[in-house]
Protein backbone atom coordinates (compact mmCIF):
# COMPACT_ATOMS: atom_id res chain seq x y z
CA UNK A 1 0.00 0.00 0.00
CA UNK A 2 1.56 3.29 -1.10
CA UNK A 3 1.95 6.37 1.08
CA UNK A 4 -0.69 8.11 -1.05
CA UNK A 5 -3.15 5.24 -0.45
CA UNK A 6 -2.56 5.44 3.30
CA UNK A 7 -3.21 9.19 3.29
CA UNK A 8 -6.44 8.73 1.31
CA UNK A 9 -7.55 5.95 3.67
CA UNK A 10 -6.96 8.20 6.68
CA UNK A 11 -8.79 11.07 4.96
CA UNK A 12 -11.79 8.83 4.21
CA UNK A 13 -12.11 7.86 7.88
CA UNK A 14 -11.79 11.54 8.88
CA UNK A 15 -14.35 12.56 6.24
CA UNK A 16 -16.67 9.81 7.44
CA UNK A 17 -16.35 11.11 11.00
CA UNK A 18 -17.22 14.64 9.82
CA UNK A 19 -20.33 13.34 8.00
CA UNK A 20 -21.26 11.39 11.13
CA UNK A 21 -20.91 14.50 13.27
CA UNK A 22 -22.96 16.54 10.81
CA UNK A 23 -25.73 13.91 10.76
CA UNK A 24 -25.89 13.90 14.57
CA UNK A 25 -25.98 17.70 14.94
CA UNK A 26 -29.74 17.83 15.65
CA UNK A 27 -30.01 14.46 17.42
CA UNK A 28 -30.05 14.33 21.21
CA UNK A 29 -27.52 11.97 22.78
CA UNK A 30 -30.22 10.50 25.00
CA UNK A 31 -32.44 9.56 22.04
CA UNK A 32 -29.54 7.98 20.21
CA UNK A 33 -28.49 5.92 23.25
CA UNK A 34 -32.09 4.80 23.74
CA UNK A 35 -32.21 3.53 20.13
CA UNK A 36 -28.85 1.80 20.55
CA UNK A 37 -30.00 0.05 23.74
CA UNK A 38 -33.17 -1.11 21.98
CA UNK A 39 -31.25 -2.70 19.09
CA UNK A 40 -31.90 -6.33 18.27
CA UNK A 41 -28.25 -7.34 18.05
CA UNK A 42 -28.98 -10.72 16.48
CA UNK A 43 -30.32 -9.02 13.34
CA UNK A 44 -27.29 -6.72 13.22
CA UNK A 45 -25.07 -9.81 13.32
CA UNK A 46 -27.10 -11.23 10.42
CA UNK A 47 -26.38 -8.00 8.48
CA UNK A 48 -22.62 -8.46 9.07
CA UNK A 49 -22.94 -12.14 8.11
CA UNK A 50 -24.73 -11.16 4.89
CA UNK A 51 -21.86 -8.84 3.97
CA UNK A 52 -19.41 -11.61 4.75
CA UNK A 53 -21.34 -14.08 2.59
CA UNK A 54 -21.34 -11.58 -0.27
CA UNK A 55 -17.53 -11.37 -0.12
CA UNK A 56 -17.25 -15.15 0.24
CA UNK A 57 -19.44 -15.74 -2.83
CA UNK A 58 -17.21 -13.38 -4.82
CA UNK A 59 -14.22 -15.42 -3.64
CA UNK A 60 -15.94 -18.56 -4.94
CA UNK A 61 -16.29 -16.89 -8.37
CA UNK A 62 -12.54 -16.10 -8.35
CA UNK A 63 -11.75 -19.68 -7.30
CA UNK A 64 -13.84 -21.15 -10.13
CA UNK A 65 -12.26 -18.87 -12.74
CA UNK A 66 -8.75 -19.64 -11.53
CA UNK A 67 -9.51 -23.37 -11.55
CA UNK A 68 -10.61 -23.02 -15.17
CA UNK A 69 -7.22 -21.47 -15.89
CA UNK A 70 -5.53 -24.53 -14.35
CA UNK A 71 -4.26 -22.71 -11.25
CA UNK A 72 -4.16 -24.41 -7.86
CA UNK A 73 -5.09 -21.53 -5.61
CA UNK A 74 -5.60 -21.88 -1.86
CA UNK A 75 -8.80 -20.63 -0.21
CA UNK A 76 -6.77 -18.31 1.98
CA UNK A 77 -5.31 -16.54 -1.06
CA UNK A 78 -8.67 -16.60 -2.87
CA UNK A 79 -10.51 -14.82 -0.03
CA UNK A 80 -7.80 -12.12 0.00
CA UNK A 81 -8.83 -10.99 -3.51
CA UNK A 82 -12.35 -9.58 -2.81
CA UNK A 83 -11.19 -8.17 0.54
CA UNK A 84 -8.33 -6.23 -1.04
CA UNK A 85 -10.75 -5.13 -3.78
CA UNK A 86 -13.08 -3.72 -1.08
CA UNK A 87 -10.26 -1.68 0.42
CA UNK A 88 -9.06 -0.13 -2.84
CA UNK A 89 -12.58 0.39 -4.18
CA UNK A 90 -13.25 2.32 -0.98
CA UNK A 91 -10.29 4.69 -1.27
CA UNK A 92 -10.40 5.50 -5.00
CA UNK A 93 -12.86 7.65 -7.02
CA UNK A 94 -15.51 5.62 -8.90
CA UNK A 95 -14.03 2.46 -7.25
CA UNK A 96 -11.32 2.54 -9.92
CA UNK A 97 -8.60 1.04 -7.73
CA UNK A 98 -10.27 -2.33 -7.17
CA UNK A 99 -9.23 -3.92 -10.47
CA UNK A 100 -5.50 -3.02 -10.31
CA UNK A 101 -5.40 -4.06 -6.63
CA UNK A 102 -6.90 -7.48 -7.45
CA UNK A 103 -4.38 -7.92 -10.27
CA UNK A 104 -1.51 -7.10 -7.92
CA UNK A 105 -2.86 -9.54 -5.30
CA UNK A 106 -3.07 -12.33 -7.89
CA UNK A 107 0.45 -11.63 -9.15
CA UNK A 108 1.66 -11.55 -5.54
CA UNK A 109 0.17 -15.03 -5.06
CA UNK A 110 2.06 -16.51 -7.99
CA UNK A 111 -0.54 -16.22 -10.80
CA UNK A 112 1.02 -15.03 -14.05
CA UNK A 113 -0.17 -11.72 -15.53
CA UNK A 114 -2.01 -13.26 -18.51
CA UNK A 115 -4.12 -15.60 -16.40
CA UNK A 116 -4.80 -12.95 -13.77
CA UNK A 117 -5.95 -10.44 -16.40
CA UNK A 118 -8.14 -13.08 -18.05
CA UNK A 119 -9.86 -13.95 -14.76
CA UNK A 120 -10.49 -10.31 -13.83
CA UNK A 121 -11.84 -9.45 -17.28
CA UNK A 122 -14.39 -12.26 -17.18
CA UNK A 123 -15.34 -11.38 -13.60
CA UNK A 124 -15.77 -7.71 -14.55
CA UNK A 125 -17.97 -8.45 -17.58
CA UNK A 126 -20.29 -10.74 -15.61
CA UNK A 127 -20.47 -8.34 -12.64
CA UNK A 128 -21.37 -5.35 -14.82
CA UNK A 129 -24.02 -7.40 -16.62
CA UNK A 130 -25.63 -8.52 -13.36
CA UNK A 131 -25.57 -4.92 -12.05
CA UNK A 132 -27.55 -3.77 -15.10
CA UNK A 133 -30.03 -6.68 -14.81
CA UNK A 134 -30.61 -5.89 -11.13
CA UNK A 135 -31.05 -2.20 -11.87
CA UNK A 136 -33.59 -2.82 -14.64
CA UNK A 137 -35.53 -4.94 -12.16
CA UNK A 138 -35.30 -2.17 -9.53
CA UNK A 139 -36.48 0.49 -11.97
CA UNK A 140 -39.64 -1.46 -12.77
CA UNK A 141 -40.39 -2.35 -9.15
CA UNK A 142 -39.41 0.69 -7.12
CA UNK A 143 -38.76 3.74 -9.28
CA UNK A 144 -42.34 5.04 -9.16
CA UNK A 145 -42.21 5.03 -5.35
CA UNK A 146 -39.47 7.65 -5.21
CA UNK A 147 -39.72 9.56 -8.50
CA UNK A 148 -42.40 11.91 -7.14
CA UNK A 149 -40.58 12.55 -3.84
CA UNK A 150 -37.01 13.08 -5.08
CA UNK A 151 -36.75 14.47 -8.59
CA UNK A 152 -33.00 15.11 -8.28
CA UNK A 153 -32.24 11.55 -7.21
CA UNK A 154 -34.55 10.06 -9.84
CA UNK A 155 -32.47 11.83 -12.51
CA UNK A 156 -29.32 10.34 -10.98
CA UNK A 157 -30.89 6.87 -11.05
CA UNK A 158 -31.53 7.18 -14.78
CA UNK A 159 -28.08 8.64 -15.41
CA UNK A 160 -26.47 5.80 -13.45
CA UNK A 161 -28.36 3.24 -15.48
CA UNK A 162 -27.26 4.89 -18.75
CA UNK A 163 -23.59 4.87 -17.65
CA UNK A 164 -23.65 1.16 -16.76
CA UNK A 165 -25.62 0.32 -19.90
CA UNK A 166 -23.05 2.14 -22.06
CA UNK A 167 -20.30 0.06 -20.42
CA UNK A 168 -22.15 -3.17 -21.27
CA UNK A 169 -22.85 -2.03 -24.84
CA UNK A 170 -19.18 -1.13 -25.29
CA UNK A 171 -18.18 -4.61 -24.09
CA UNK A 172 -20.70 -6.22 -26.45
CA UNK A 173 -19.34 -4.16 -29.34
CA UNK A 174 -15.86 -5.52 -28.67
CA UNK A 175 -17.20 -9.07 -28.41
CA UNK A 176 -19.25 -9.07 -31.61
CA UNK A 177 -17.98 -6.18 -33.79
CA UNK A 178 -14.26 -6.15 -33.04
CA UNK A 179 -12.97 -4.39 -36.21
CA UNK A 180 -15.75 -1.79 -36.15
CA UNK A 181 -15.12 -1.09 -32.45
CA UNK A 182 -11.39 -0.52 -32.96
CA UNK A 183 -12.08 1.96 -35.76
CA UNK A 184 -14.77 3.69 -33.67
CA UNK A 185 -12.47 4.01 -30.65
CA UNK A 186 -9.68 5.47 -32.80
CA UNK A 187 -12.14 8.00 -34.21
CA UNK A 188 -13.51 8.97 -30.79
CA UNK A 189 -9.98 9.17 -29.37
CA UNK A 190 -8.79 11.67 -32.02
CA UNK A 191 -9.85 14.82 -30.07
CA UNK A 192 -7.53 13.78 -27.22
CA UNK A 193 -4.62 14.62 -29.51
CA UNK A 194 -5.63 18.27 -29.43
CA UNK A 195 -5.03 18.47 -25.68
CA UNK A 196 -1.90 16.32 -25.25
CA UNK A 197 1.52 15.88 -26.84
CA UNK A 198 2.15 13.22 -29.50
CA UNK A 199 4.20 10.93 -27.24
CA UNK A 200 1.52 10.76 -24.55
CA UNK A 201 -1.22 10.33 -27.17
CA UNK A 202 0.59 7.37 -28.75
CA UNK A 203 1.15 5.81 -25.34
CA UNK A 204 -2.56 6.04 -24.49
CA UNK A 205 -3.56 4.74 -27.93
CA UNK A 206 -1.32 1.68 -27.58
CA UNK A 207 -2.66 1.00 -24.06
CA UNK A 208 -6.30 1.19 -25.25
CA UNK A 209 -5.58 -1.06 -28.23
CA UNK A 210 -3.97 -3.60 -25.91
CA UNK A 211 -6.97 -3.58 -23.55
CA UNK A 212 -9.41 -4.04 -26.45
CA UNK A 213 -7.32 -6.92 -27.84
CA UNK A 214 -7.09 -8.61 -24.44
CA UNK A 215 -10.81 -8.31 -23.85
CA UNK A 216 -11.63 -9.62 -27.34
CA UNK A 217 -9.43 -12.69 -26.84
CA UNK A 218 -11.08 -13.35 -23.47
CA UNK A 219 -14.57 -12.80 -24.91
CA UNK A 220 -13.99 -15.56 -27.48
CA UNK A 221 -13.25 -17.97 -24.66
CA UNK A 222 -16.19 -16.61 -22.69
CA UNK A 223 -18.65 -17.22 -25.53
CA UNK A 224 -17.29 -20.73 -26.01
CA UNK A 225 -18.01 -21.80 -22.43
CA UNK A 226 -21.64 -20.88 -21.74
CA UNK A 227 -21.94 -23.32 -18.82
CA UNK A 228 -19.17 -21.55 -16.93
CA UNK A 229 -20.65 -18.18 -17.88
CA UNK A 230 -24.06 -19.21 -16.52
CA UNK A 231 -22.51 -20.60 -13.34
CA UNK A 232 -20.57 -17.46 -12.43
CA UNK A 233 -23.51 -15.25 -13.47
CA UNK A 234 -25.79 -17.05 -11.00
CA UNK A 235 -23.12 -16.86 -8.30
CA UNK A 236 -22.71 -13.12 -8.95
CA UNK A 237 -26.48 -12.68 -8.58
CA UNK A 238 -26.26 -14.50 -5.24
CA UNK A 239 -23.33 -12.27 -4.23
CA UNK A 240 -25.29 -9.12 -5.05
CA UNK A 241 -28.41 -10.46 -3.31
CA UNK A 242 -26.49 -10.90 -0.04
CA UNK A 243 -25.28 -7.30 -0.38
CA UNK A 244 -28.61 -5.75 -1.36
CA UNK A 245 -30.54 -7.37 1.51
CA UNK A 246 -28.34 -5.82 4.25
CA UNK A 247 -30.58 -2.74 4.91
CA UNK A 248 -33.54 -5.04 5.57
CA UNK A 249 -31.66 -6.74 8.42
CA UNK A 250 -30.63 -3.33 9.78
CA UNK A 251 -34.29 -2.25 9.78
CA UNK A 252 -35.19 -5.42 11.68
CA UNK A 253 -32.40 -4.66 14.16
CA UNK A 254 -34.03 -1.27 14.71
CA UNK A 255 -37.43 -2.91 15.34
CA UNK A 256 -38.83 -1.68 12.00
CA UNK A 257 -40.87 -4.71 11.02
CA UNK A 258 -43.35 -3.20 8.54
CA UNK A 259 -40.82 -2.82 5.70
CA UNK A 260 -41.33 -5.16 2.73
CA UNK A 261 -38.25 -7.23 1.86
CA UNK A 262 -38.56 -6.83 -1.92
CA UNK A 263 -39.08 -3.08 -1.67
CA UNK A 264 -36.05 -2.61 0.62
CA UNK A 265 -33.83 -4.61 -1.76
CA UNK A 266 -35.12 -2.59 -4.71
CA UNK A 267 -34.41 0.74 -3.03
CA UNK A 268 -30.94 -0.40 -2.00
CA UNK A 269 -30.15 -1.32 -5.62
CA UNK A 270 -31.10 2.23 -6.63
CA UNK A 271 -28.96 3.74 -3.84
CA UNK A 272 -25.91 1.72 -4.91
CA UNK A 273 -26.38 2.98 -8.47
CA UNK A 274 -26.39 6.61 -7.26
CA UNK A 275 -23.27 6.03 -5.12
CA UNK A 276 -21.35 4.83 -8.18
CA UNK A 277 -21.78 8.26 -9.80
CA UNK A 278 -20.12 10.28 -7.02
CA UNK A 279 -16.41 10.94 -7.71
CA UNK A 280 -15.51 10.97 -4.00
CA UNK A 281 -14.14 7.57 -2.83
CA UNK A 282 -16.96 5.42 -1.48
CA UNK A 283 -19.49 7.98 -2.71
CA UNK A 284 -19.13 9.63 0.70
CA UNK A 285 -21.72 12.29 1.32
CA UNK A 286 -23.93 11.14 -1.53
CA UNK A 287 -24.31 7.67 -0.02
CA UNK A 288 -25.45 8.96 3.36
CA UNK A 289 -27.80 11.52 1.82
CA UNK A 290 -29.37 8.97 -0.55
CA UNK A 291 -29.90 6.44 2.22
CA UNK A 292 -31.46 8.99 4.59
CA UNK A 293 -33.80 10.36 1.92
CA UNK A 294 -35.00 6.99 0.64
CA UNK A 295 -35.26 5.09 3.93
CA UNK A 296 -37.19 7.89 5.60
CA UNK A 297 -40.07 6.03 3.89
CA UNK A 298 -39.76 3.36 6.59
CA UNK A 299 -38.30 5.34 9.53
CA UNK A 300 -39.98 8.56 10.65
CA UNK A 301 -37.94 8.95 13.86
CA UNK A 302 -34.89 11.13 13.01
CA UNK A 303 -32.66 9.56 15.68
CA UNK A 304 -33.44 6.04 14.48
CA UNK A 305 -32.95 7.06 10.83
CA UNK A 306 -29.46 8.43 11.53
CA UNK A 307 -28.57 5.28 13.47
CA UNK A 308 -29.80 3.15 10.55
CA UNK A 309 -27.61 5.16 8.17
CA UNK A 310 -24.54 4.79 10.43
CA UNK A 311 -25.02 1.03 10.78
CA UNK A 312 -25.63 0.56 7.05
CA UNK A 313 -22.55 2.60 6.14
CA UNK A 314 -20.34 0.71 8.55
CA UNK A 315 -21.53 -2.75 7.44
CA UNK A 316 -21.40 -2.08 3.68
CA UNK A 317 -18.37 0.23 3.47
CA UNK A 318 -16.07 0.48 6.49
CA UNK A 319 -16.36 -3.19 7.48
CA UNK A 320 -15.11 -4.28 4.04
CA UNK A 321 -12.26 -1.77 4.16
CA UNK A 322 -11.16 -2.99 7.61
CA UNK A 323 -11.18 -6.60 6.35
CA UNK A 324 -9.19 -5.42 3.31
CA UNK A 325 -6.52 -3.86 5.55
CA UNK A 326 -6.21 -7.15 7.44
CA UNK A 327 -5.96 -9.10 4.15
CA UNK A 328 -3.27 -6.71 2.94
CA UNK A 329 -1.16 -7.34 6.05
CA UNK A 330 -1.43 -11.14 5.78
CA UNK A 331 1.03 -12.40 3.13
CA UNK A 332 -0.28 -14.81 0.47
CA UNK A 333 0.38 -18.50 1.06
CA UNK A 334 1.92 -19.06 -2.37
CA UNK A 335 4.22 -16.04 -2.21
CA UNK A 336 7.37 -18.19 -2.06
CA UNK A 337 6.44 -19.80 -5.40
Q: Does the CA dihedral 38-54-150-292 come out positive or negative?
A: positive
Please tell me the predicted confidence (pLDDT) of residue 229.
87
Please tell me the predicted confidence (pLDDT) of residue 255.
92
Beta strands (DSSP E) in the chain are none
122-126, 231-235, 299-303, 327-331: which is most confident:
231-235
| CB neighbour burial string for 161-189, b if at least 16 within 10 angstroms, e if fewer | beebeebeebbebbbeebeebbeebeeee
69-73, 147-151, 236-240: which is most confident:
236-240
Phi-psi region of 171 (alpha: psi -120 to 50; beta: other; left: phi over 0): alpha
pLDDT tens per residue across span 117-173: 878 888 888 898 898 888 888 877 776 766 665 566 667 777 777 887 888 888 778
Separation of alpha carbons 77 and 59, rounded Å: 9
Please tell me the predicted confidence (pLDDT) of residue 298.
85
**Of the candidates 289, 328, 322, the residue with the CA atom closest to the CA atom of residue 306:** 289
Please tell me the predicted confidence (pLDDT) of residue 153.
66
Please tell me the predicted confidence (pLDDT) of residue 337.
44
Q: Where are the domains of the chain?
A: 3-12+35-151+226-329
Angle at 117 between CA 173 and CA 63, to 5 degrees: 110
Is 240:223 a contact under the CB 8 Å cutoff?
no
Our CA dihedral for 70, 74, 79, 85, rounded to 10 degrees, sits at -50
Q: Label residue 56 by pLDDT band (50, 70, 90).
A: very high
Three-state secondary structure call for residue 297: coil
Percent of the chain with pLDDT strictly greater than 90: 29
226: number of Cβ within 10 Å: 10
Separation of alpha carbons 293 and 241, rounded Å: 22
DSSP labels for 110-152? T--HHHHHHHHHHHHHHHHHHHHHHHHHHHHHHHHHHHTT-HH
Amino acid sequence: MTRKNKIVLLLMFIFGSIILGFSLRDISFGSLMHDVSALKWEWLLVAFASMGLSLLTEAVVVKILLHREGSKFSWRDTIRIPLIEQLFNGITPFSSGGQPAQLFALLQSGIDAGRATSVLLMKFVVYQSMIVINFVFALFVGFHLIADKMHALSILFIFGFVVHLVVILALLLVMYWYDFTKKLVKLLFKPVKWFSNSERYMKWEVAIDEKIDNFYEESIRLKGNWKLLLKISLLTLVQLSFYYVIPYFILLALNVSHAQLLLVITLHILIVMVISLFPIPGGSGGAEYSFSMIFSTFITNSSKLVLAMILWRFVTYYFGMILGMIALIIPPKNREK
